[in-house]
A and B are shown apart, each in its own frame.
Chain A
Amino acid sequence: QSVLTQPPSASGAPGQRVAISCSGSSSNIENRFVYWFQQFPGTAPRLLMYKNNQRPSGVPDRFSGSKSGTTASLAISGLRSEDEADYYCAAWDDSLSAQVFGPGTKVTVL
């Protein structure tokens, strides 16, 4: 049972915008940075977003991150077939003194 909550799935047609939420609490998201990872089947995760809304080099600007209170969001605009993957949010939890991941959201491009 993760302390971060994500919807199990999200979908959209090519070109549309999809948003994935990550809900937490004051011990993690509200007072800590949020990170997002993208994972394709059979491969290692890839850092997609750091410090809430910063993109590592090489990540398209179609991906954007935001945070408000205890909820963070990852948005994918101009959805493309190659965006089909699992997306995980992560943050440090002060109560647990541990890095925690959300359960992941599977994005499907219709």
Chain B
Amino acid sequence: QVQLQESGPGLVRPSQTLSLTCIVSGDSISSRNDYWSWIRQPAGKGLEWIGHMYASGSPTYNPSLKSRVTISVDTSKNQFSLKLRSVTAADTAVYYCARAPFYDILSLDVWGKGTTVTVSS
């Protein structure tokens, strides 16, 4: 059973880059034809899809964040990452990583527990 765990700094300064990693355990990320996603949720608010990536393909990003986001997969470390540049307080949220099978990319059936990121000076 695949499990996901987010890791990264809980505090990021405004204008800096938010960097998070999602560690995949229970199976090899390179042996799975899955989509690896990032979703975020500001406190008390709804879910926002950030983007996803197929292990051997190109990422797809939310157009509202596309200019600031990079999602990448590191098969050697069995993890995938999120970088969000030029952050502001509006980027403060719980960030989740999730996976979906290649044949149904919206079926986010495995989620990490989430990590809280606060943007503040």
Contacts and interface: CB of A to CB of B under 8 A. Distances in A.
Contacts of A33: 106
Chain B binding site: helix, strand, loop or mixed by DSSP? loop
Contact of A45 (B62, B63, B96, B106): B96
Contact of A2 (B46, B60, B62): B46
Nearest to B48: A101
Contact of B63 (A43, A88, A97, A103): A97
A: contact size bracket: 20 to 34
A99 interface: yes
A97 B39 CA distance: 16
Contact of A90 (B62, B106, B111, B113): B106
B112 interface: yes
Interface residues of B, number: 20
Interface string B75-112: 00000000000000000000010000000101111011
A104 B46 CA distance: 6
Interface in A82-110: 88, 90-92, 96-104
B49 A101 contact: yes
6 contacts: A45-B108, A90-B47, A91-B106, A97-B60, A99-B52, A103-B46
Interface of B: 39, 46-49, 52, 60, 62-64, 96, 104, 106-109, 111-114
Interface of A: 2, 33, 35, 37, 43-47, 50-51, 56, 88, 90-92, 96-104
Given A37-B47, A50-B106, A97-B60, 8 more contacts: A44-B111, A44-B112, A45-B39, A47-B108, A98-B49, A98-B62, A99-B106, A104-B47
